[in-house]
Structure 1
């Protein structure tokens, strides 16, 4: 059953960061009961105390972070929470509806449009045929159960032998001519093989990390040399595959006998990555990568199937050089696997790997195929796996595509920073009729929600989430229950909304994004370092900012911001809960 909730992350007492909204406290018209709240009094009280009628101090980290108050309006009439103080502290509010009571108030998010518009190209766009095939895969599996077998596999003379891959370029079905650029052994057997489209091939190999002179940039930029293809193979085998299969599960294996005649052989272990200019425009970003479930079927079912476990990745993005200018005003380029664009390629590859794994684990393995139309659950799981693996591949957050900040010298903000400038998405209605949220908004919000769950419950939630036969919210709750039985998705969303406005995490209350460690089977620790939203967003001014240097004290603790009149009203509808975050 779908829970209905609307998260409204409002800056009612903040200066908006551009693109709509207005600064200063908001006074709402109408005659309602009022609940006076002295901010100073609440800051002085212990957690669990009632600092005003019906207002509870949930978390108090005022000395080095944020304080969280909660007011639940259980009456039949709206109430005004009147926040007062001698020079009121900065306040952000998170308004939530209770179970079964949709919040119909207009969203006052209003501040994220410009942030997202700067980076819409970073969002992955699926070719329409891929979307169609992936969405219809469950129905196809149902219809083929116990039907006569199609012709056998043809790998001996197919793509894996010839280097010709049925692909989608610019929404057109084409045969991509490729060469084998690199390969690496996978843990547990099989190989990952990286194929490079001839059009994207860099004929002259070079050692990555070396400087590319300015007169060679045009020749080498956004092209793939064997050394680069090998770097992708090595990183996938050692950084992506090993962690993903342990945390989530295998991408292929045994299948119900009723489906076996229509699908890849159960012993299939090799994974293929085809690097090509997907859009094609000779430019980075755009469509960065995709998983196409048609390839998991035999070609007697899908005539254009390559009959292999395949990803398609954008060569222009992975091969993009970082361009610099030296003191003599001469340009040069450098390519490294942890460079700005290759890092995006690798985290996208981890994202797409989740889709491959979920197709097998949730749609095929149980013999009760699930619909891939569950965009919300599937994409949030993909963002979660990509984030966990990205933190291990790129421990320097300045290089992690999820956590990097926009810098004065160029570049763009990561998805987490984007998420702080956008709100109002009903996550579990992603792609449904009436969904007013943009795809860019959904992806960044899905990352933020996934981060909250991973930092507070750990990566252990992923296996039951992705391997269970449940779909949608039920799948997420299945994963959460494996770590914290009884945890409800709706409660998680509430805590996530609060956490996006906290300067510092309160791990004991599962608020914020605290450090989380997880022990892998080999005894190593998978560590997700703490993340502070305040390192990206200035809650005092409503502006995005570059991260503070390590070790700098929180800059907003107990700062006083003289608001107009020193007070503000926040309307709380009947059956709603208001969380107030004070800095």
Structure 2
């Protein structure tokens, strides 16, 4: 857990000293250098008076304000002026290696909230200067009521680590022949010799043997066979009924559903490769969806599904391989979780299907070094849920209804949580909500072309570099840094909708996909704000500080950490 310290607030100094320091080293906003170094001041700025001497009167000099409007056609009129209503955003980047003071003076407020958002745009923690916390908020839903670590994190991490590169040591010799697979280049997977009522054993991730029965088999639009297997003791009208299996089929198989959406965004889920001890990609392979009672604990949720690359190995390489292109779903969540359980499980197929596809497209075809880091691997899987949601259940969107909710409300809030450090349902952070919320923002701002580019981008083995390159490919004047600070300003301020262009979570429809609008203001009652200043601002993380109901001129000098952007949101 990160250490925290008692806050303090710098006292005022002479405006003349402040102005001289700013004029000596004042930079602009954006990604260029910003070397402001001023002493701190606070309080309401007053226009200086001019004695009546009969001499010509110079125009009144505006107070120094080093933040610049970061939105067009919005309520940020200029560096010193708020329009009086609406959303205004100002920003400045400290691109130096030391913390700097940034004076702010913005007039025209009539009771609006001012949110200061610190966004670390580097891969290392930055020392967080002290700052007064003048607003606190106790959520109406106690933090203890939110679901935290379900005890399954170690299992998920083991599977994730194996999927990323653990499989490679067991996959045998990699040939030198053509092994590439591009969008639509592989032939459809054809039927295997199974019929409804057949039985076979599947190994669960814990190596236990689970007898299963084939409940139904179907064919997708491109001819791929999908088999639905249910653990035999769970196949019962009071447990995993035929009706439940039919709903899984309806979400995955028909035209325009999960299988089609996966293939449309990222290509085949299996096909040709050059490894000697992976199951063949040159012959027919069905997709097996296997429903098992994961832990027999009598409760839904917990670990609800997984894709395990071990099952793509031959039994020569791993005795516990199921030798199948397969996804695994938890039986108890399906029949004990009610409507929410079924909603979750339908999108779990999209989520785990993306893990399956990423494994083939990136790790197998290109090589294990090109597999995404966990934070981006999980992020792309949640982005698939986002794109698929409205085609599966128009009333439910996992980013809107779960990930963003938890991002602003998990324990003390997941704002100051490193994007790079994967810590799901941890002591202070939930990485699913961090990567998922950022992914939902990028989906809506950059669209389907960005997502497709990201999935197939093998320009680097570094996931941060890959994500930045895919952003620039779609928005050449943008960058990961810019998108992070826009996301930070949006989420940390709970920016009102409609937001200025480039901010917010607007609805988007393209290529047969529909992304619903996410209105951050709906989470105001459950947002949690930090009650003490953290020691550090974490890598690629943001931290909000709120000034409530400001009227007249908002004036404050804020010390901003190295490599970080200060955003000021007034609304």
What's the TM-score once normalised by structure 2's chain length? 0.72
Q: Which residue of 2 is the match for residue 27 of structure 1?
A: 9
| Aligned match of 1:164 | 201
- 1:194 is aligned, of 225, 228, 243, to 228
Quote the Cα distance in structure 1 between the aligned partners of 2:99 and 2:407: 33
User: Residue 82 and residue 296 in structure 1: after superposition, are their counterparts in 2 closer, same or farther (change >3 A)?
Assistant: same
CA offsets per residue over residues 143-196 of structure 1, 9 Å max, x none? 53259xxxxxxx87999963211112xxx3111111222333212112222111
The structural deviation recorded for 1:73 is 4.6
Partner of 2:523: 536
Kindly name which structure, 1 or 2, has the bigger radius of gyration based on alpha carbons: 2
The reply to whether residue 442 of structure 1 matches residue 431 of structure 2 is yes
Distance 2:45 2:159 in 1: 53
CA shift for structure 1 position 348: 1.7
Gaps of 5+ in 1: 1-7, 9-19, 42-49, 148-154, 205-219, 323-338, 405-413, 520-524, 544-558
**1:134 and 2:163 correspond:** yes
CA contact (8 A) 1:456 1:507 kept: no
Aligned to 2:485: 494
110, 118, 123: which is aligned to 2:146? 118
SS at match of 1:370: helix
1:57 aligns with 2:57: no
Q: 2:119 maps to which residue?
A: 96
CA distance in 2, matches of 1:369, 1:462: 21
Question: What do the CA deviations read for 1:273-302 (whole angstroms, capped 9, x no partner)?
Answer: 111121220210011110010111111111
Deviations 1:406-436 (A, max 9, x none): xxxxxxxx221111232112212336xxx99
2:503 aligned residue (505, 508, 511): 511
3-state DSSP of counterpart to 2:207: strand
Shift of 1:247: 1.0
1:360 to partner: Cα distance: 0.2
By how many angstroms is 1:487 displaced? 3.9
CA distance in structure 2 between the partners assigned to 1:40 and 1:237 by the alignment: 67
Q: Using a 3 Å threshold, how does the CA distance of structure 1 residues 296 and 447 change in structure 2: closer, same or farther?
A: same
Matched residues in 1 for 2:446 and 2:477: separation? 13
Structure 2 CA distance for partners of 1:162 and 1:106, relative to 1, 3 Å: farther
Give the deviation of 1:242 after TM superposition.
0.8
C-alpha separation between the residues in 2 aligned to 1:116 and 1:486?
43
Question: Following TM superposition, by how much is the alpha carbon of 1:351 offset from its aligned partner in structure 2, in angstroms?
Answer: 0.9
Q: CA RMSD in A?
A: 4.1
Superposition map of 1:32-47 within 5 A: 33-34=39-40
1:225 pairs with 2:241: yes
| Partners of 2:148 and 2:426 within 8 A in 1 | no
Task: Report which structure shows greater RCO (CA 8 Å, sep ≥6).
Answer: 2
For the 8 Å contact 1:320–1:342, the answer to whether it is kept is no
TM-score (norm 1): 0.70
**Cα shift at 1:102:** 5.0
**Structure 1 CA distance, aligned partners of 2:43 and 2:480?**
30
Q: What SS does the corresponding residue of 2:369 show, helix, strand or coil? A: coil
SS at match of 1:359: helix
- The whole-number CA distance in structure 2 between the counterparts of 1:237 and 1:269 is 16
Classify the secondary structure of the residue corresponding to 1:536.
helix
Q: Which residue of 1 aligns with 2:278?
A: 262
Could you say if the C-alpha distance between residues 200 and 574 of structure 1 is closer, same or farther in structure 2, counting changes exceeding 3 Å? closer
What's the CA shift string for 1:32-82, capped at 9, x where partnerless? 5247797999xxxxxxxx985322122224677421111345687631545
Conserved 8 A contact 1:82-1:569: yes
Distance 1:159 1:29 in 2: 77
Does 2:400 correspond to 1:403? Answer: yes
Structure 2 residue ranges without an equivalent (≥5)? 14-37, 48-61, 76-82, 177-191, 531-546
Residue equivalent to 2:287:
271
Task: Give, in whole Å, the separation in 1 of the partners of 2:457 and 2:214.
Answer: 36
